Structure 1
Amino acid sequence: MGYISLINGVIKRRFSLSVIKSEMVRIINVAEKNDAAKSIAEIMSGGRYRKREGFSRFNKIYEFEYNILNNNCTMTMTSVSGHLLNLEFIGQYKKWYSCNPVALFDAQVQKYCPENYVDIKRTLEREVRGCSYLIIWTDCDREGENIGFEVIEVCKAVKHNIPVYRAKFSEITPEAIARACRNLSQADKNTSDAVDVRMELDLRIGAAFTRFQTLRLQKLFPSVLGEQLISYGSCQFPTLGFVVERYKQVQAFIPEPFWKLKVQHKVEDKAVEFMWKRNRLFDYLSALALYENCIENPSASVIDVQSKTKSKWRPQALDTVEMEKLASRKLHISAKETMQIAEKLYTKGFISYPRTETNIFPSEMNLVGLVQQQTQSPVWGDFANRVLEHGPQPRNGKKTDKAHPPIHPTKYTGNLTGNEEKLYEFIVRHFLACVSQDAQGFETTVHIDVAEEKFHVSGLMIIARNYLDVYPYEKWNAKEIPVYQQGDTFTPCLIELDGGETSAPPLLSEADLIALMDKHGIGTDATHAEHIETIKSRMYVGLRPDGRFVPGQLGMGLVEGYDNMGYEMSKPNLRAELEADLKLICEGKKNKDAVLTAHVQKYKEVFIEACKQALKIDQAVAQYIGEDPVSLSENTDAAAGFGGLESMPMTVMKCPQCGSDMQLKSKKNNKGYYIGCIGYPTCRKAVWFPDSVVEARVSDNTCPQCGPDVHRIEFKFKRGSVPPTIPLEYIGCVGGCDKDLEEALGIDNLARRPSLNGSSEHDSGFVSGGNRMSQIGGSTRSYSTNVAPIFSESQMRGYSSQSLARGNNSQNLLRGNNSQNISRGKSHENRKVVSNFQGNINRTPQSSVLGTSLSPSQSSYNTNMHGSPSVRPGISRTPLSSVGNTRNNLPVSGNNGSNETVCNCGNAAVLLTVKKEGPNKGRQFYKCSNSGCNFFLWADEAPAGSGGSGSQSQTYSSNPRGFQSKQNQGSAEGIPNCNCKQEARRKKGQTRVDNSMGVLNQEIRVVVSSSGQMKKVAEEITTKEVEVVIEKEVLKRVALNEGLQETEESLKQRKEESAVCVERKRFIWTIDFSIFIWTIDFTERFIWTRDFTGKIHLDNRFYYKDSSGQEILLERFIWTIDFSVKIHLDNRFYWKDSSGQ
């Protein structure tokens, strides 16, 4: 029973402990590096931590119990490896050739987690889920504070309400860690903001100038710089500037001869040399005269003897800059290696935090304990004991960052080797020397007179070496001289005139360079070594065997090139201003956004000016690398102007969807142009220009109407591709103010921004003017399908779906009813349909409907349409129908019996005269007084009988196909009549189609973004059965308007589609057709041409009606690729397809 009760007691005790343990608060702690996390965990746990693995094999997890925040807590200690998140440009901005570098000053940036840090991020996300608090243990400086906020961002994304604390410490010692736990505070957002500003500026400035320099100079000097990255940084360039400036001083130095007098006196084998009070003279005759005077009167008399104590000061407390300088000079360790070693010593707990601007020990700091640690050393232990006898008395400087104390040892170790041992020993000796006493001595100075010329000599006797006993890096040598008394006289053993010349200043050593960087505010104590290493790795500078810097050829050329522009970019002014502003952000005296905006704008202006004067860089670099640049005439991309980067995509305007830049780019194989969003693939907004655009270039000028963010575009069109209202070389705006240009290009208003629901002002499935919007990944992409708009969106809004389908003459739009009442029924407010119809449905008598677009400036020309197309004075706009049938369709008198010319809209025509320069200038033509009607007729082409009498008014049809708008009721077969009252004739071999099959023989152009929408539109067009087959891949390739090449797969697919057509005896739509209306000036008249592109499968036969009413039939021929038909209607008919038929 005793055993049972004992076991039960143990079980109960263990159970109660497990309950307590399960209820303990869990806290996640994050250090900046794994070594720091391990050291802190070891101190807090007393060495009793439990280690487990995270997702990253380099960042372990240490668990232990600790009393903090007045609770017994389970501590989870892990780490990152420096910055967890980096900054990058979004989308295409990351690609070098995606944009002109100037766009990088305004491009969107985002923070992201690099791939090699994703596992660290996953560890944080997993661990924070089970924790109640987050404590940041990153280094207590600017970078550490920013890294802490990156950790906070990741953790709060998982657990948004987790409380966050900041542990502040300067060394990893038990005392410092305990003090940090007792005084947990909040993270400093201002300090983190300063780092964000610095990182973004460095990214924008560095990326813009680096791309500019690299892309330009690689093209100009391909044999020398063709593969070299020519980087720029707002810190590295002033650093390079210091090296170049000193090198130029040395090169420009001209030695100057000088002369000085020397007097020597020898007493009992001790020779003493007296120094001339004048030091030296640069005039030889003057020095010679004084010398001869002394030779003539060689007696010397002692005129004064001064004796005084003298001290040699011990070193000040050690900060980062001083450590880097002294390690370079005394230990011959580079600044970069020095900081790497110091970081290791810090994380191991041997020294305090190595990045500090402070050289003042706080009065409350326990220096005795630190000195006591060093008494263990067999090398400097005795000196440490001597310090303890008098008490440590540090020599402080005048700087403090109020964050960290000076660098000092935190504990003794004798197990280091190599440079780690050398640097640790230096830090210990420097600390002991700093807290000890100055060296003491006694100095005697003797002044003599020789022929009224004054000379002097000094002797030194060292009384107490003090700190010099532990600090071998400085020397203080005694100098013994004879004893002289005032009034003594003697004859010198030597009086001579010694000559010499001045010497150039020495080239910069690494210590000198760090001192200059610190003096002028370039970088911080933590980044000096990094910037120096950068200019070395880029080969901008080199090191001589004596450790002094010389600039490289490329470095010299770059600095001199920028200096020649007048912008002293190699000088420290710009960067020093930024560093000063960053300090003010840390202090909360300046807003980060204001600082960022100001400095981005400042560097952007410098960049733009540098691009304009880029030839100066070319000349300077060519001079120093000894290579002639590629001829600018042979390499137009390297020409002067905007940095020689004109061939790169230029920003046109801001994307209406995402706010990024939209740029003018070349299509694949440089076959055409388009405007695309730089945010691709996140945003897929794009607008494709038609093939009629031969050249396009973004102008430097912005649009005065659309604003400074919208640049105008310089277009060059194919001859005959645009109406006479637009010249072949045209500068226009696509921002929404130039409607003529937009319609000529077949694009929608790019400046239209999406509505609140994410769509554009109108349903993205239907856009006017051949502009297609396709939803891909939640974003919109638009591209031209080479079709000019047939009628405008505002006109389409009034058409009901019923009026589009039914045969009622009072409503049916398809049947071309002359009545103007076509706006009944439900309005299509959320859809834009652009269609062009022709032909017959089931051979039911009807006319062609809807006029074809005459020019890009007019969106509708049918007389039944609402709205008024603009007509400019002196401009003739000729409908296709008017050109093809002017001989047969003639205006006659109206009801009043006069010779009034009327058209079938019932309005009188007005007589106008062409005023534009050209072959038709002065020629008269008729135009309908109704601005919504597209009636046109040359006055000299009207027949003589046009003014005949009669009460019945004949009208000139503005129907684009040239057919009368109503059926000839006397025709037995229901064949329509032409306006000349003659029966329309079919071309021989015309296909007869069974009415019962409901074959749709129409030409339709419908812009859609999905097959479902196309079916819906087709159902509205006709009540007859229409099958819609859209092969996505075919649609995609054709929509991109690229040349297609047959593959086995596409050929097989084509045959299958043809078989379907034959089997079902029904018209199968495979893609939407694309139509362009072009004009060509044939000297005598404007000849309207039409470009027809598309694919058709129709019972193994293809036919369509051209604008003159003629039919083309190709027996057993299947169109499988884009083809073009140009119809020149100068009373004759010509065309060629792409196969040459």
Structure 2
Amino acid sequence: MKVLCVAEKPSISKSISQILSGGRFATRATGSNFVKNYDFDYPQTNAHFTVTCVAGHLLEHDFAETHRKWQTCDPFALFEAPIVTSVAKDKKAIEANLRAEARNADQLMIWTDCDREGENIGAEIVSVCRQSKRNIVVKRARFSAIIAQQIHNAAQHPINLDMAQAAAVDARIFLDLRIGAAFTRMQTMSLQDIFKQHITSVVSYGPCQFPTLGFVVSRYNQVQAFQPEQFWYIYLALTSNTSQEQEETPFNWRRGHLFEFDVALAIYEDVLRHPRARVIKVTKKETKKWKPYPLTTVELQKAGSRLLKLAPKKVLDIAEKLYQGGFLSYPRTETDQFDPQFDFMTLIAKQTVDPAWGAFATGLRDNNGFTTPRKGKNNDQAHPPIHPTAHAGNLTGDDKRVYEFITRRFLACCSKDALGFQTTVDVEYGGEEFSATGLIVLERNYLEVYPYDKWSSKELPDFQEGEEFVPSICELRDGWTTKPTLLTEADLVTLMDKNGIGTDATIAQHIETIIDRGYVLARMEGATKYLVPSTLGIGLIDGYNEIGFDRSLSKPQLRRQTERSMVEVCQGTKTKNDMLAESIDQYKEMFIKARREFQKVITNVRTRLEGGGNACCCPRTPSRRIR
């Protein structure tokens, strides 16, 4: 039997060939400089394999010539205009190679990435190959990591291609093309005609792009509208002498703080009439700092931004490269729980050779340090959480930092929770209640390998219930409410994930898009990157918000509904055509109202562009003051 195996990328096809053939394969050139064909016998299934690849999507989609040029039609017509699907011009050589190889194959085995997009690319491959051999048998290899065990298992136990997932992606592609083109043409032509000096490039619209921008503008507007408010609180502390130095133990006021000065002053003066404070309760208990959950794509993006100071898109690109190199499992997953049969020990053993965390891995393996990872609430039924599949000792730069974070996270998940002993002291002073909390860390456990979490001891004096003492400090202090900060990339990832904007794999791309379009600027303050909307970005979002949609184009509701509809298509409870019809009708209604009231967008853009705008130059300024 002759089997044609098609991977999604050149590096994957070569890795698959090396694993399945044991390194014994013949290489043939193709019409594409990037694509090679690899031939070898695979005795495990009594077959001859040819492994090749595509380079992402083969097909491209565009409007017919009658609607392709901007001046040929009203933008509204794009909601119904015919769409032409064809092989992309730069993929013609890949298409020719697939058709030639399929002609002599008995079976086509799809080896694309195991996600929705991979299923869709697989369906494209099938459509091309069946032009040469209509009755070719189609199978799908399912794997989560480029490691021998999984690749052999995928080759020997193929499944069927999930055409429902492929259809869901088709629906999204067609929908985004129609919506994006219609709104982009409408707003670009309207704005360029009025603001010739300010707007010379396309003012693009995207159904994920604008809600993403909307989050950034909304936070910016909150920051701009913020008015600091003064508050007052009682600061109580006891100074005790140790062998080294004086230690100050602060107590938190149970009321927190008050905004009425006269009330705070009256309470403070009443407290001062009492010379001594009394300990009313001492609570001592064991406590834990929970180890982290297994790693998902969204959490990787957030951690990459907050801890590694890397853009979410860059973190995913590095993780993808490490996956293709065989060092990581598939990096696009919503799952934060490992299967009960998962082989932890084999993977932990591979990390025992590392000079930085090898000793910790050895302890997990040999010294009863291992405990089963915590179970999160998410399972996409497709891929396990992100984890290392091999030791990588020669990485450098950001590749090394991303791999190290993922590996330390995996080892931390397999360790024990940190254990401590917590003491809480409740104090009554002049009728007011205060409290202080101390901690002694007894066992660091997972913290030994996971420096990204902090937990340190803070000892309290040995207080006894009923004990009285004279406070060293009792002052009425003031402070100011703190303005919200502008969004960081990690904040934006969280908001997009929570509101269903994009998928775990596309969130980073949408953030990069609004930055590339000039709608958002990245500003550094110290080591933190904040997202600041441009004057055009603010004008567009504020303008659409003024139109008063039930579901504004800058809000997440419409896109969230689209994502839910895609899930229904994947589950077979809704057809691709039904999803398209429903969504297009909704956006048609929005388009009609937006165009009718577009003067509100124009007015807001004019205010920002010609008035200079108020885009924040300093993302965060301290507003809290203590005296």
Q: Normalising by structure 2, report the TM-score.
A: 0.95
Q: For residues 505 and 101 of structure 1, what CA distance do their matches in structure 2 show?
A: 39
Q: Which amino acid aligns with 2:189?
A: L
Tell me what 1:307 maps to: 284
Q: Is the 8 A contact 1:190 1:586 kept in 2?
A: yes
SS of the aligned residue for 1:548 comes to strand
Greater mean deviation of Cα atoms: 387-396 or 409-418: 387-396
Question: CA separation in 2, counterparts of 1:603 and 1:53?
Answer: 47
1:865-880 equivalent positions in 2, closer than 5 A: none
- The aligned residue for residue 121 of structure 1 is 95
Q: How many residue pairs were aligned?
A: 601
Structure 1 distance, partners of 2:179, 2:315, is 29
Question: 1:39/1:392 Cα in 2 relative to 1: closer, same or farther (>3 Å)?
Answer: farther
1:392 CA drift (Å):
4.3
The answer to whether structure 1 residue 548 and structure 2 residue 530 are counterparts is yes
Q: By how many angstroms is 1:237 displaced?
A: 0.4
Identity %: 47
1:413 lines up with 2:413 in the alignment? no
Match of 2:104 in 1: 130
Correspondence for 1:266: 239
TM alignment of 1:368-517, pairs within 5 A: 368-388=345-365, 389-390=367-368, 391-517=370-496
Deviation at 1:627, TM superposition (A): 6.3
What is the match of residue 194 of structure 1? 168
Cα distance in 1 for partners of 2:395, 2:284 equals 47
Q: Give, in whole Å, the separation in 2 of the partners of 1:96 and 1:427.
A: 47
* Kept in 2: contact 1:561–1:620 (CA 8 A): yes
1:63 aligns with 2:36: no
Q: Deviations over 1:900-921 (max 9, x none)?
A: xxxxxxxxxxxxxxxxxxxxxx
Q: Which amino acid aligns with 2:577?
A: D
Q: Which amino acid in structure 2 is aligned with residue 600 of structure 1?
A: I
What is the deviation of 1:93? Answer: 1.3
Map of 2:2 onto structure 1: 26
d(CA) in 2 for partners of 1:356, 1:461: 37
Misfit runs of 4+, over 3 Å: none
Q: Tell me, what secondary structure is at the counterpart of 1:304?
A: strand
Q: 1:237 aligns with which of 210, 216, 224?
A: 210
* Counterpart in the other structure of 1:565: 547
* Letter aligned with residue 12 of structure 2: A
1:414 Cα offset (Å): 0.3
Tell me the alpha carbon deviations over residues 835-872 of structure 1, each in whole angstroms, 9 at most, x when there is no partner.
Answer: xxxxxxxxxxxxxxxxxxxxxxxxxxxxxxxxxxxxxx
Q: CA deviation at 1:150?
A: 0.3
Deviation at 1:506, TM superposition (A): 1.3
Q: Note the C-alpha offset of 1:61.
A: 1.2
Contact 1:128 1:158 in 2 (8 A): yes
CA distance in 1, matches of 2:28, 2:234: 78
Determine the structure 2 residue equivalent to 1:1095. none
Secondary structure at the residue paired with 2:390?
A: coil
Counterpart of 2:625 in structure 1 is none
Matching residue of 1:608: 592
Map of 1:554-953 to 2, 5 A cutoff? 554-567=536-549, 568-626=552-610
- For 2:181, the equivalent position in structure 1 comes to 207
Partner of 1:537: 516
Q: 2:302 aligns with which of 322, 325, 342?
A: 325
Partner of 2:128: 154
How far apart are residue 67 of structure 1 and its match?
A: 2.8
- Give deviations 1:690-730, integer Å, cap 9, x for gaps: xxxxxxxxxxxxxxxxxxxxxxxxxxxxxxxxxxxxxxxxx
- Distance apart, 1:543 and its partner CA: 1.3
1:39: which partner in 2? 15
Find 2:77's aligned residue among 98, 103, 109.
103
Residue from 156, 165, 170 that aligns with 2:144: 170
Q: Write the letter of the residue equivalent to 1:585.
A: V
**Following the alignment from structure 2 to structure 1, what is the Cα–Cα distance between the partners of residues 591 and 75?**
9
Deviations 1:781-812 (A, max 9, x none): xxxxxxxxxxxxxxxxxxxxxxxxxxxxxxxx
Q: 1:54 aligns with which of 30, 40, 56?
A: 30
- Asked if 1:112 corresponds to 2:86, the answer is yes
1:481-527 C-alpha deviation (Å, 9 max, x unpaired): 11000111111111100001111111111001000000000000010
- 1:84 and 2:58 equivalent? yes
State the 1:92 CA deviation: 2.5
Per-residue CA shift, 1:137-158, capped at 9, x if unaligned?
Answer: 0001000000000000000011
Distance 2:391 2:423 in 1: 42
Distance 1:84 1:411 in 2: 32
Q: Which amino acid aligns with 1:554?
A: L
Q: Partner letter of residue 46 of structure 1?
A: G
8 Å Cα contact 1:270-1:482 kept in structure 2: no
CA distance in 1, matches of 2:513, 2:489: 13
Give 1 or 2 for the bigger CA radius of gyration. Answer: 1
Aligned to 1:251: 224
How far apart are 1:271 and its partner, in Å?
Answer: 1.4
Secondary structure (helix, strand or coil) at the match of 1:387 reads: helix
Larger relative contact order (CA 8 Å, sep ≥ 6):
2
SS at match of 1:97: helix
Contact 1:367–1:392, Cα closer than 8 Å, also in 2: no
Q: Look up the SS of the partner of 1:363 in the other structure.
A: coil
For 2:518 and 2:359, locate their aligned partners in 1 and report how far apart those are by CA, in whole Å: 48
Specify the alignment match of 2:616 in structure 1: none
Q: In structure 1, give the amino acid aligned to 2:601.
A: I
- Candidates 156, 164, 181, aligned match of 1:182: 156
Report how far residue 301 of structure 1 moved: 0.9
One-letter amino acid of the counterpart of residue 480, structure 1: E
User: Using the alignment, how far apart are the partners of 2:109 and 2:211 within structure 1?
Assistant: 39
TM-aligned CA deviation for residue 182 of structure 1: 2.5
Structure 2 Cα separation of the partners of residues 111 and 409 of structure 1:
39
- Paired with 2:258 and 2:446, the residues of 1 have a C-alpha distance of 40
> In 2, Cα distance between the equivalents of 1:53 and 1:182?
27
Calculate the aligned-residue CA RMSD, in Å.
Answer: 1.1
Which structure: greater helix fraction?
Answer: 2
Deviations 1:400-455 (Å, cap 9, x if unpaired)? 11000000000111011111111001110000001111000001011111111111
How many Å apart are 1:573 and its aligned residue?
0.2
Is contact 1:368–1:392 with CA below 8 Å preserved after alignment? no
Paired letter, 2:556? P
- 2:34 maps to a residue whose letter is F
- Aligned-partner SS, 1:81: coil
Q: Which runs of 5+ in 2 are unaligned?
A: 613-627
1:357-379 alpha-carbon deviations (Å, 9 max, x no partner): 11110111111111111111111
**Letter paired with 1:128:** A
1:59 and 1:376 map into 2 onto residues whose CA distance is 36
Q: Deviations over 1:180-229 (max 9, x none)?
A: 1222111011000000000000000001011111111111100110x211
Residue 414 of structure 1 aligns to which amino acid in structure 2? G
Shift of 1:346: 0.5
Give the superposition deviation at 1:54. 1.0
Q: CA deviation at 1:64?
A: 1.1
- How far does residue 246 in structure 1 lie from its aligned partner after superposition? 0.7
Q: Distance in 2 between matches of 1:422 and 1:494?
A: 46
Q: Deviations over 1:367-400 (max 9, x none)?
A: 1111111111111111011111323411121101
For the residue of structure 2 that corresponds to 1:376, the secondary structure is: coil
Q: TM-score scaled to structure 1, two decimals?
A: 0.52
> Structure 1 residue 298: deviation in Å?
2.7
C-alpha deviation, 1:255, in angstroms:
1.1
Alignment partner of 1:289 out of 255, 266, 271: 266
- Separation in structure 1 between the aligned mates of residue 381 and residue 561 of structure 2, nearest angstrom: 22
